[in-house]
Amino acid sequence: MTDPAPARLVVLISGSGSNLQALLEATANPAYGATVVAVGADRDGIAGLDHAAAAGIPTFVDSVKAYPTRDDWDAALTGHVAAYHPDLVISAGFLKLVGKQFLDAFGDRYINTHNALLPAFPGIHGPRDALAYGVKVAGATLFFVDAGVDTGPIIAQTVVPVLDDDTEGTLTERIKVAERAQLVEFVGRLVREGWTIEDRKVRIP
């Protein structure tokens, strides 16, 4: 029996792309079961786009300000992602909330990694907010995106300690190491094993 075709991943980024890089390294192994077919961004000039181009992967940029309305941007992004027929769409540090058209098209297979232990500290300053609150553990959450801000069904969480002398920078970096490992592990499991969601509970058989 021949192996099934690798699952098709579209990865959306806004920054350095270290999570994307980790996925690119994992997908180099055919046994991982997935391949990154395109990388999209909401801005030019970011390192993640260079990583993708260096790996020979098609890229596209949809900047919100390039479109007359947010709905137009959402439609364009949806179209660009759809053109690559993804099995899974991964927000890996993509700093934009997608709209209804995107969720209608991909809401059953759009996942995001967030650098806090949800439901605590949603939004774009997870590590800073965790540090300010004085929590003793922090971490990252992988979840299916819904219409809320960091509110969708949780796939996995990983925990790191918060140290007394942490700064936002040191805590952010410690979280990112655990976050990358979690992303690689669970994207692989999702594409190889499938999943169910019932009453918010995500189960991978």
Q: Which residues are tagged catalytic?
A: 114
Answer yes or no: are the C-beta atoms of 113 and 179 closer than 8 Å. Answer: yes
Q: Is 115 known to sit in a ligand binding site?
A: no
Question: CA torsion, points 54, 178, 154, 132, in degrees to nearest 10?
Answer: -110
Minimum CB–partner distance for residue 45 and ligand GRF (Å): 14
Rg over alpha carbons for the chain, rounded to the nearest Å, is 17
Which residue lies nearer to ligand GRF by CB, 13 or 105? 13
Letter string b/e over residues 41-56, b meaning 16 or more CB atoms within 10 A of that residue's CB: bbbeebebbebbeeee
CB of 136 to ligand GRF, least distance (A): 20
| Alpha helices (H) along the chain | 18-27, 47-54, 70-82, 100-106, 126-133, 168-193
- CB of residue 5 to ligand GRF, shortest distance in Å: 26
| CA 40 – CA 81 distance, rounded (Å) | 8
Single out the residue of 42, 74, 150, 179 in contact with ligand GRF (rule: CB under 6 A).
179
Q: Which of 6, 10, 11, 17 binds ligand GRF (CB under 6 A)?
A: 17
The pair of structure tokens assigned to 52 is 């993708």
134 phi and psi angles, rounded to 5 deg: 90, 25
Judge whether 91 is annotated as a binding position. no
- 50-79 residues near ligand GRF, rule: CB under 6 A: none
| Per rule CB under 6 A, count of chain residues that contact ligand GRF | 15
Q: Show the site string, 91-130: x = touches ligand GRF by CB under 6 A, - = not.
A: -xx-------------------xxx---------------
Contacts of residue 8, defined as CB under 8 A and 6 or more positions apart, other chains included, come to: 34, 35, 37, 84, 85, 86, 87, 88
Closest distance to ligand GRF from the beta carbon of 13 (Å) = 6
| Bind-site residues | 17-19, 70, 95-98, 112
Binding site residues for (6R)-10-formyltetrahydrofolate, as ranges?
70, 95-98, 112
Contact residues for ligand GRF (CB under 6 A)? 13, 15-20, 48, 92-93, 113-115, 176, 179
